[in-house]
Amino acid sequence: MAGSRSLSSGLRALTPAAFGVDPSGERMARIRRSPHFKDGVFVNPGGPTTMRPSGSAADFAKVFFDKDTRPHRAPSGTIPVHATTLADLAKPPATGLRVTWMGHSSVLAEIDGHRVLFDPVWGERCSPVPFVGPKRLHPVPLPLAALGPVDVVVISHDHYDHLDLPTIKALAGTDTLFAVPLGVGAHLEHWGVSPDRLRELDWHEETKVGGLTLTATPARHFCGRGLRNTQHTLWASWSVAGSEHRIYHSGDTGYFEGFQDIGAAHGPFDITMIQIGAYSALWPDIHMTPEEGMRAHLDLQGGAPSGVMLPIHWGTFNLAQHAWAEPGEWTLAAGEAVGQAVAVPIPGQPFEPGGVLPTRAWWRSVSAPLKKEWPAPQVSRDDLGLVGES
């Protein structure tokens, strides 16, 4: 028995801190009371999903190591990065809303006098250990310490490419607040964030930060950092409303009809930050293709093109089998097909959705040409407000 306890203690000592901890105590009791927690796990909207990659490891390896497609999954040269400076961010946005995509799903939004940082990942790898796992394809545009004060850090879910231990530990030393889905607060407390700086929400719950209203909205995904993946931490998309502007961050999600409900309740949005990368036929229910991402944006906007769409969750880490540049090309094509404005800044380039948008396909200078027909979004002409046009 003593030997068993020693072995257990030894295994705990070897567990990476980045695994975080499972919710317990009152936090776990609150999770059990959630209407979205059934039979011991959080469940997705829109019915059952394939919550993890389907198919065998051999199937995955066959696709991932394919000699014809593998060379296209990384840039052929150095990805351009805007070295964001304090001068870029010191002057208030002229329109009241400015957005800076830092790469992948990390976005700084300056909205109506407040600063919101979504899914900050400044680490070199999205992995529980520093020596293996997907590595950055470009550097972060600026050091985290140079970002300046942030009012609230918003986390969509606890996967490594969205919740990064080194980044959270650095931010724990500031006075920022953290808005996270239900259960995710356990990880942050374990890493040094005080409970009084946490706003931990179930879907459809909201919290106030200064003049902002943040609402956790549904998403279609899954969670987990450790070996057991107990599905005891929630995943979410987020609506943020200020005095003049509204923005939306999708986190990771598959396409579902709930985008229409989110748009009706919280939109329309001045800008949506939509996941359009790391999709695969092996996991069709938990990530969106660019075509699905454009449909999601239109749903959020009431069915017609409006606002600005910012594609996220691509370009920084190699997480799927599609060509590295494919999400950018396909999103531009999808936007053109439906008449929707799309912003494609290089990482670190601030822009105002109400001003001049970055629209140059910058990835083409470091990518082999992609000769494909891009499927257009599956929306009706009525949805696009084109009734009566030929």
How confident is the model over 299-320, as pLDDT tens digits? 999 999 999 999 999 999 999 9
- Whole-angstrom Cα distance, residue 64 to residue 129? 22
CA atoms within 13 A on the CB side of 65: 6
Separation in Å, CA 61 to CA 68, 144, 282, 288, 321? 14, 35, 12, 21, 10
For the purposes of burial, counting CB atoms within 10 Å of the CB of 90, is it exposed (0-12), middle (13-18) or buried (19 or more)? exposed
| Prediction pTM value | 0.91
Q: How many CA atoms lie within 13 Å of 374's alpha carbon, on the beta-carbon side?
A: 22
pLDDT digits (tens, 9 = 90+) for 212-260: 999 999 999 999 997 666 789 999 999 999 999 999 999 999 999 999 9
DSSP β-bridge partners for residue 118: 107, 154
Which 8-state DSSP code applies to residue 113? T
Distances, alpha carbon 329 to alpha carbons 96, 139, 266, 362, in Å: 29, 22, 29, 10
Q: How does pLDDT run along the chain (390 residues), one tens digit per residue?
A: 444 444 344 434 446 899 999 999 999 999 999 999 999 999 999 877 765 555 556 666 666 666 566 667 789 999 999 998 888 898 999 999 999 999 999 999 999 999 999 999 999 999 998 889 999 999 999 999 999 999 999 999 999 999 999 999 999 999 999 999 999 999 999 999 999 999 999 999 999 999 999 999 999 999 999 766 678 999 999 999 999 999 999 999 999 999 999 999 999 999 999 999 999 988 999 999 999 999 999 999 999 999 999 999 999 999 999 999 999 999 999 999 999 999 999 999 999 999 999 999 999 999 988 888 888 888 755 555 543 333
DSSP strand pairing (97-103 vs 350-351): antiparallel
